[in-house]
């Protein structure tokens, strides 16, 4: 057991070809992923006792630069919609969590609450919702908007959206359904609750027409690290997908986020901080470095530049690739990611080309290249110093990057007492060590019918 007296948590982030922007060009990587491939990956992660599978999502194909888009697998064209895919994977797994990304910017809260609670019931309590907002202009155009919703407005909507969804998830008490043939009473009317929400963005009566799941409600995950994002996470999230590169920044972010919980009546253990880690693992350091350089050599300049322009919120095509990253106006997109990338460029004096090569794998997350012991050392250091409660593992390529981590790093973590050998529970909430349910009916504004 670790010095903290607990073990770290691990999610397998399944980006279909792999997280490196050039992964699909690697001869050992998927170029596409069908259901049977996802089944294989899910079973691998479950056999290794990972806490969850994590799926990203978007609602547009990013064609601002068609030439660059046509040269990468990460242009927004996904093999499957995440909730549909995870519903299929629920049938072929039994313990691993199933976490899907869904945006509050262009979704309907009643439909989303119903879909996630259905997944939670199908999987017997293993669902999680990664709550995000959408800042891409391309996405806005698919939902009747002429431009992306302003950052502040997106988070205002997200706050209300989360309240509506969690309120709907509390529509039925756990023991509301009697199903008593003798008395003829199917459910107890005293244990059904009407939301009757009237807000700035939504009017939703309720109740939700899906009963509660074995874990009470899906686990809420959140990924924003801007000030509004951190405040939303402190109030609503139970796990946070963070992106901090240095140990110092990770420790600072962890303390900041956990320090906000008290104002919402929450304890530190009510929220897990799970940064992304992009691990390239080899049996020797030289083998790991060769694996990484092999991927780096496959980056096409137009793809790297397009990736960086999208993440930093400004088209950089007018600037020289081997010149410095210019001073840029604040983006309406992901503010925390822009800030992270600009700080990285300034700290290490990177050119535009060097910066896009730095983020081509990890997208601004923590990148680690080394032996199993070296990777485990760094993970242990971050965990023991309270910079993380666990990690979202972002494999460079699929399936090899995930199998490398499972075969080489997981045994080393177990040897140190840092990771489980068996599941503690059958629900995602139970395995993450979270309370059975955070639903507080009074604060959600519910009224008995």
Please compute the mean of the pLDDT values over residues 277-298 and round it to a whole number: 97
Q: What is the pLDDT of residues 45-71, one digit of tens each?
A: 999 999 999 999 988 777 778 887 778
Least confident of 27-41, 132-146, 238-252: 132-146
| Exposure string over 380-397, b if 16+ CB within 10 A, otherwise e | bebbeeebbbbbbbbbbb
Q: How many CB atoms lie within 10 A of CB 169?
A: 27
pLDDT for position 438: 54
The Cβ-side half-sphere exposure at 3, using a 13 Å CA radius, reads 7
- Among candidate residues 17, 73, 76, the one with its CA nearest the CA of residue 41: 17
pLDDT at 380 over 70: yes
Q: Is the peptide bond before 58 cis (omega within 30 degrees of 0)?
A: no
Q: Could you give the maximum distance between any two Cα atoms of the chain, in Å?
A: 79
Please compute the mean of the pLDDT values over residues 331-351 and round it to a whole number: 77
Q: How high does pLDDT run on average in the chain?
A: 90
Spatial distance between the Cα atoms of 400 and 395, rounded to a whole number of angstroms? 8
Extract the tokens encoding 58.
Answer: 């978007």
- Among candidate residues 330, 320, 328, the one with its CA nearest the CA of residue 352: 320
Spatial distance between the Cα atoms of 352 and 287, rounded to a whole number of angstroms? 27
pLDDT at 427 over 80: yes
pLDDT interval class at 436 (50, 70, 90): confident
pLDDT at 320 over 50: yes
Spatial distance between the Cα atoms of 349 and 363, rounded to a whole number of angstroms? 18
Helix %, strand %, coil % for the chain, to 5? 40, 15, 45
Spatial distance between the Cα atoms of 237 and 249, rounded to a whole number of angstroms? 20
Helices (H), 81-226: 82-90, 109-122, 137-140, 151-169
Extract the tokens encoding 277.
Answer: 């880690």
pTM, to two decimals: 0.90
pLDDT at 350 over 60: yes
pLDDT at 411 over 60: yes
- Please give the helix or strand (H or E) that residue 411 lies within, else none: helix 410-415
Least confident of 184-193, 197-206, 274-283, 434-443: 434-443
- Among candidate residues 167, 215, 218, 219, the one with its CA nearest the CA of residue 193: 167
Least confident of 60-69, 121-130, 290-299, 306-315: 60-69
Q: What is the pLDDT of residues 141-191, one digit of tens each?
A: 888 887 888 888 888 999 999 999 999 999 999 999 999 999 999 999 999
Helix/strand/coil for 447: strand
pLDDT for position 439: 53
pLDDT for position 331: 64
What are the phi and psi torsion angles at 102 (to 5°)?
A: -150, 135
Q: Is the peptide bond before 207 cis (omega within 30 degrees of 0)?
A: yes
Beta pairing partners, 276: 392
Q: How many CB atoms lie within 10 A of CB 84?
A: 11
For helices 82-90 and 35-47, give the axis angle rounded to 10 degrees: 60
* Residue carrying structure tokens 């960086």: 308
Spatial distance between the Cα atoms of 229 and 222, rounded to a whole number of angstroms? 8
- The CATH number corresponding to 9-286+364-448 among 3.20.20.140, 3.40.50.10800, 3.30.70.920, 3.20.20.30 equals 3.20.20.30
Least confident of 87-96, 131-140, 196-205, 384-393: 131-140
pLDDT for position 443: 34
Contacts of 218 (CB under 8 A, 6+ apart): 116, 117, 119, 120, 127, 128, 129, 169, 428
Spatial distance between the Cα atoms of 411 and 277, rounded to a whole number of angstroms? 17
What percent of the chain is modeled with pLDDT above 90? 67
Q: Are the C-beta atoms of 215 and 436 separated by less than 8 Å?
A: yes
What are the phi and psi torsion angles at 328 (to 5°)?
A: -125, 150
pLDDT for position 28: 93
Domain ranges of the chain: 9-286+364-448, 300-359
Extract the tokens encoding 75.
Answer: 């242009």
pLDDT for position 442: 33
Q: What is the pLDDT of residues 230-243, one digit of tens each?
A: 999 999 999 999 88
Q: What is the pLDDT of residues 213-268, one digit of tens each?
A: 999 999 999 987 788 889 999 999 999 998 888 999 999 999 999 999 999 999 99
Spatial distance between the Cα atoms of 98 and 59, rounded to a whole number of angstroms? 20
Please compute the mean of the pLDDT values over residues 362-372 and round it to a whole number: 92
How deeply is 70 buried, as exposed, middle or buried, from its count of CB atoms within 10 A (0-12, 13-18, 19+)?
exposed
């Amino acid at each position: 057991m670790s010095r903290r007296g607990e073990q770290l948590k691990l999610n397998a982030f399944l980006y279909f070809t792999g997280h490196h922007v050039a992964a699909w060009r690697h001869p050992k990587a998927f170029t596409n992923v069908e259901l049977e491939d996802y089944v294989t990956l899910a079973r691998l992660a479950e056999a290794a006792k990972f806490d969850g599978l994590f799926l990203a999502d978007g609602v547009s194909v990013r064609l601002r630069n068609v030439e660059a888009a046509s040269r990468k697998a990460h242009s927004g064209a996904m093999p499957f919609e995440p909730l549909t895919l995870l519903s299929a994977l629920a049938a072929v797994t039994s313990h691993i969590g199933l976490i899907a990304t869904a945006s509050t910017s262009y979704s309907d809260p009643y439909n989303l609450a119903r879909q996630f609670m259905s997944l939670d019931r199908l999987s017997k309590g293993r669902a999680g919702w990664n709550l995000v907002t959408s800042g891409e202009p391309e996405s806005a155009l698919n939902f009747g908007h002429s431009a992306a919703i302003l950052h502040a407005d997106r988070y205002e909507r997200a706050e209300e959206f989360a309240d509506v969804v969690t309120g709907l998830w509390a529509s039925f008490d756990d023991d509301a359904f009697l199903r008593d043939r003798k008395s003829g009473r199917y459910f107890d009317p005293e244990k059904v609750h009407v939301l009757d929400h009237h807000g700035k963005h939504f009017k939703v009566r309720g109740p939700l027409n899906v009963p509660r799941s074995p874990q009470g409600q899906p686990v809420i995950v959140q990924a924003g690290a801007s000030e509004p994002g951190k405040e939303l996470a402190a109030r609503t999230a139970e796990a946070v997908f963070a992106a901090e590169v240095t140990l110092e920044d990770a420790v600072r972010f962890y303390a900041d986020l956990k320090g906000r919980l008290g104002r919402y009546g929450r304890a530190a253990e009510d929220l897990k901080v799970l940064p992304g880690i992009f691990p390239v693992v080899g049996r020797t350091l030289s083998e790991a470095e060769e694996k990484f350089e092999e991927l780096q050599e496959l980056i096409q300049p137009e793809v790297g530049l397009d990736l960086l322009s999208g993440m930093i919120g400004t088209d950089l095509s007018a600037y020289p690739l081997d010149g410095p990253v210019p001073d840029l106006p604040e983006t309406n997109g992901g503010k925390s990611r822009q800030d992270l990338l600009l700080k990285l460029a300034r700290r290490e004096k990177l050119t535009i080309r060097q910066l896009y090569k730095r983020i081509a794998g990890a997208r601004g997350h923590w990148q680690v290249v080394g032996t199993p012991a070296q990777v485990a050392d760094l993970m242990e250091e971050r965990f023991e110093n309270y910079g993380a409660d666990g990690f979202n593992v972002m494999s460079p390529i699929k399936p090899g990057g995930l199998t490398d981590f499972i075969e080489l790093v997981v045994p080393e973590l177990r040897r140190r007492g840092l990771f489980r050998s068996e599941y503690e529970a059958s629900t995602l909430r139970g395995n993450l060590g979270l309370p059975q349910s955070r639903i507080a009916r009074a604060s959600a504004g519910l009224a008995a019918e």
